[in-house]
Amino acid sequence: MLPGPKNFYLMTEKLPMTQQLPLLRLRPLVLLMAIGLAGAAQAQSLVDLYSAARDFDATYQSAKAQNEANLYKADQTMALILPKVGINATWSAGLAQADRTFNNNTMTLDASQAVYRPADEASFAQSRKAVQQAASALQTAEQELILRLSQAYFDVLASTDSLEFVKAQKVAVQEQLAAAKRNFEVGTSTITDAREAQARFDLVLAQEIAAENDLRVKTLALAQLVGKPDVKPLAVAPGFNLSEFSPADMNEWLTIGQTEHPSIRQLNLALEVARLETQKANAGNMPTVDLVARYQTTTNNGSVASPLFAGSNAYTLGFNVNLPLFAGYSIQNRVKETLSLEEKARADLEAAQRNVAQATRAAFMGVDSALGQVRAYEAAAISSQSALDANKLGYQVGVRINIDVLNSQSQLYDTKAKLSKSRYDVLMGNLKLRQASGILKSADLQAINALLR
């Protein structure tokens, strides 16, 4: 084990100067290692781990890269409405006689600007819709990351609480086992009480092993999500105000979901893109008009037949009009195809609206159910504690047997574990409700972050 920075400095000062110099060079390294170990021991908040997950999670990074690619792809359609300019140059040389050569040079500069191209205009409008679709897709990926991280975070907290309750139950059972053995030795109880307590103690040991493994698995899952090997999430304060997380009227959430959910926005845009595709198909029967300009310069110093120098400059400006007359019914069939795809996009949008409404209802009822469970488990915990106290007293006076106390202990700690889990379900349910209605943002984690200790 490495000494601490202070001990390391004191140790080096006691050495001779010739031995101090190599060790003094290690002082900055020891200090940095101490700082790193201190940082590793600190617990992280939900917001801190979310920031780390945004930078590390491969699924989110993939969605982010896809969003950037879609933006660049959409910008490519600007070439359809911007001018096009090109230059072409040729040079040739020849030998007319032994003492005379000739060459011909030509340079052409062409420029064109679309004046009326309805299909290209529709394609450009589609690209603007695609940019909005990409933004909605990235928002969906961000919401999914928030939920995955929050679920992994609360899974670790719930598993930690379960392990603590199992350990507390083990201590209580161990005490009960010792009491049963003492009572048997003095003859106030039978061997049955001791054996029942021993069996329950062995069972709790098995539960502790399972709880420890579950915590390790949940911690590894959270560490993999955020890219940190030493994750230790901050715990939630046990007495937070549940009313702050009680959702309002369900109809309000349903209305929000139909307008704000990114999947519905995406499919609304997909319907608009399908309509524009129909416009493009209909544009196949329309003329196109381009403004074209050309500048051409030619020089030559003769040819095989003539040694005379010649040169010319030419300027042209005009319009290029193209009118399709018949394309073998391809345009008509393309229009029918796009109309069918437009109907498909409309049906997909309607299905998404129904799914969002159903998911919102389910999420709303899930939060409401979790709130009810918290209140019920709170009452059950009080009752279980009273029952345990009564059974302990009854066991002491001889009206209860040891198994009654052991069952009461198991019921109490099981109720406490379920109460802890239900509290996390309330917080997680609120995030799921906001995601179901499409308004979940990273800022929503701040409300939960304020509850951490």
pLDDT at 40: 43
For residue 155, which of 421, 417, 449, 371 has the smallest C-alpha distance? Answer: 421
3-state secondary structure 159-212: HHHHHHHHHHHHHHHHHHHHHHHHHHHHCCCCHHHHHHHHHHHHHHHHHHHHHH
- Asked if 281 and 418 sit in the same domain, the reply is yes
- Asked if 355 and 301 sit in the same domain, the reply is no
CA distance 289 to 402: 97
Q: Are 143 and 262 in contact (CB under 8 A)?
A: yes
pLDDT at 43: 83
> Which one-letter amino acid corresponds to residue 20?
Q
Domain with 291 in it: what CATH number?
2.20.200
pLDDT at 303: 56
Adjacent-strand bridge partners of 292: 112, 318
CA distance 254 to 250: 6
Helix, strand, coil distribution of the chain in percent, nearest 5: 70, 15, 15
pLDDT at 245: 76
CA distance 261 to 144: 13
Angle (nearest 5°) at CA 300 between 297 and 302: 155
Q: Provide the token pair at 101.
A: 């050569």
Q: Which residues contact 347 (CB under 8 A, 6 or more apart)?
A: none
Task: Please report, in angstroms and rounded to a whole number, the separation of the first and last CA atoms in the chain.
Answer: 31
- Asked if 281 and 360 sit in the same domain, the reply is yes
Rg over alpha carbons for the chain, rounded to the nearest Å, is 39
- Asked if 102 and 157 sit in the same domain, the reply is no
Three-state DSSP class for residue 52: helix
Burial of 198 (0-12, 13-18, 19+ CB in 10 A): middle
Angle (nearest 5°) at CA 193 between 191 and 197: 120
Q: Provide the token pair at 361.
A: 């209802």
Q: How many CA atoms lie within 13 A of 17 on its CB side?
A: 0
Expressed as residue numbers, the domain containing 57 is: 43-82+117-286+324-449
- Asked if 223 and 199 sit in the same domain, the reply is yes
User: What is the maximum alpha-carbon separation in the chain?
Assistant: 138
CA distance 54 to 149: 10
- Asked if 305 and 408 sit in the same domain, the reply is no
How many structural domains compose the chain?
Answer: 3
- Asked if 65 and 210 sit in the same domain, the reply is yes
Polymer length of the chain:
453
- Asked if 4 and 30 sit in the same domain, the reply is yes
Return phi, psi of residue 126, to 5°: -65, -40
- Asked if 215 and 298 sit in the same domain, the reply is no
- Asked if 407 and 270 sit in the same domain, the reply is yes
Q: Which residues contact 363 (CB under 8 A, 6 or more apart)?
A: 429, 432, 433, 435, 436, 437
For CA atoms 304, 306, 309, 315, the dihedral sign is negative
- Asked if 25 and 147 sit in the same domain, the reply is no
Domain with 164 in it: what CATH number?
1.20.1600.10
- Asked if 194 and 329 sit in the same domain, the reply is yes
Local confidence pLDDT in tens for the 453 residues of the chain: 344 444 444 444 455 544 544 444 444 443 334 334 444 457 899 999 999 999 999 999 999 999 999 899 888 988 888 999 999 998 877 665 555 566 788 999 999 999 999 999 999 999 999 999 999 999 999 999 999 999 999 999 999 999 999 999 999 888 888 888 887 888 777 788 888 889 989 999 999 999 999 999 999 999 999 998 889 999 988 777 777 777 778 999 999 999 889 999 999 999 999 999 999 999 989 999 999 999 999 987 755 555 666 678 899 999 999 999 888 888 999 999 999 999 999 999 999 999 999 999 999 999 999 999 999 999 999 999 999 999 889 888 877 878 888 889 899 999 999 999 999 999 999 999 999 999 999 999 998 988 887
Q: Provide the token pair at 422.
A: 């239900």
Quick one: CA torsion of 367, 372, 377, 378, rounded to 10 degrees?
100
Cβ count near 88 (within 10 Å): 10
